[in-house]
Amino acid sequence: MLRRRTAQPLSLLARWIVDTLVVSVAWRGDYLLPAFQFDLAGATVRRPVFEILDGTLKDLELASWFALPNARLGGAAPVDAIGRDPRAVIDAAAAARRCDDDKR
C-alpha cells in the first residue's frame, strides 16, 4: 500500500510508529497495526480521530475504543462506521475526549 506513496515504505511506517502517528501493538517481536486507522485508497492515516484522542488512550485502549460498540454511533463500532461516516466517528472521539477530560 505504501509503495504507491513512497520509495521507502518501511522507513515511513517506522517514522509513523516512532512519532505515535499510528496505533501499533508490539506482539511476539512484531508490530501489529490495525487496518482501521488507514485510508487504504489513499495510503494515508486517518489522523483527525487520533489527534482528538491523542494522550487520552494508550495504543491498546485506542484499538479497543475503535472495536467496541459506541452509543454515539447508534451502537456501531467506530471501526465499522469510519468508512461510511468519518464525521460521526470524529464527533464520537471528541465526546470521548471530553468525558476523559472531565474525569481528570
Length of the chain, please?
Answer: 104
What is the rounded CA–CA span in Å between residue 71 and residue 39? 24
Three-class SS state of 29: coil
First to last CA, the chain: 39
The residue range of the domain holding 95 is 2-103
Is this model's pTM higher than 0.85 or not?
no
- Cα separation, 67 vs 30, in Å, equals 21
Task: Tally the domains of the chain.
Answer: 1
Write out pLDDT tens, residues 31-87: 888 888 888 777 788 777 778 887 778 778 888 899 999 999 999 999 999 888 989
